[in-house]
Amino acid sequence: MTRPLLKAVPLGLRFSLPVVLLLLVGFAAPLLAVVGYSFVEPRTFALLGPEAQGPTLANYRAIFNPANTVYTSFVWSLLLAAQTVVILVVVCWPIAYGLSFLFGRFANLVTLAFVMPLFISENVRLYGWVLFFIKGGVLDGTFRSLFGVGVEAPLFTPVAIVFGMVYVYLPFMLFPMTLGLSMVPKDLKDAAFDLGASRFQVFREVELPLAMPGLMIGALLTFVLAVGAVAEAKVLGGQSIIVITHDIEIAFTYAQNWPMGAALSVLLMLVVGSLVVAVLRYLDLDRILGRARS
């Protein structure tokens, strides 16, 4: 009796069932729990059962209360993430161009150089930069030894936070951008040059539009990761700026206010999710993935 039922289920659905179950248990269920907790009375833990009260909007009202300054954390997180994306676009474009067209046999070596830091813990790398920038550290000590004058590095400032984000998330912008540039046919560029186009015209009319899918994927991936970053603000920023993920962490841990932390998490997911959906509407992922496979 079971086998006829299994034969009635499409083969693709049968093979995808383990993945679907994994996504439901490991992704959808925790998200639904967070959404549910966001409607629970503040500083309570009863989501289900006889002690659970009815749903409430008290947590969201508290967030949007003019007296509450949590919105500044949202603004700082979005601004820092946007700055990181803009800087990485400028920094990664020439590197991605070199990986796609110029480096030749050295491209794998350059790629390995950017991949290797990913095998080391992010916190270890950030604390390494603290030792580099801190007063009396590597940078300051080197200048004092060579020139007799110290260097005041921008440690524990917003500049240090952006620097840390750019450093940590550079590979996540670089590799999708390299994929996007690899989708630009060389014959098309040569044809544009033959027709009298300048180097800037080829960049604006040929390279940038055709590489835009990869650039947008890299920017989206970097923005999502940077919005959720907390280590950079803590380690390099010294909490000079409080980002939204720090407020969420405090709500779930020290404050023991899970409903407030859940409400902040839901708002963050809505903002980031809306951005992801808006960007993916303009991307042809089948074309990108098909080009990557070929």
pLDDT in tens, 106-151: 888 888 888 888 888 888 999 999 988 888 888 888 888 888 787 7
Give Rg (Cα) of the chain.
24
Domain 66-293, CATH homologous superfamily name and number: MetI-like (1.10.3720.10)
pLDDT at residue number 104: 75
- 265: its two tokens: 């998490």
Distance CA 189, CA 184 (A): 8
pTM of the prediction?
0.84
pLDDT at residue number 150: 76
pLDDT class of 50 with cuts at 50, 70, 90? low
pLDDT at residue number 126: 92
> 151-187: per-residue pLDDT in tens?
787 888 899 999 999 999 999 999 999 988 888 888 8
Q: Which residues are within 8 A (CB) of 248 and not within 5 positions of it... i.e. 6 or more apart?
A: 261, 264, 265, 268
Q: CB of 249 within 8 A of CB of 36?
A: no
The maximal CA–CA distance of the chain, rounded, in angstroms, is 86
pLDDT class of 198 with cuts at 50, 70, 90? confident
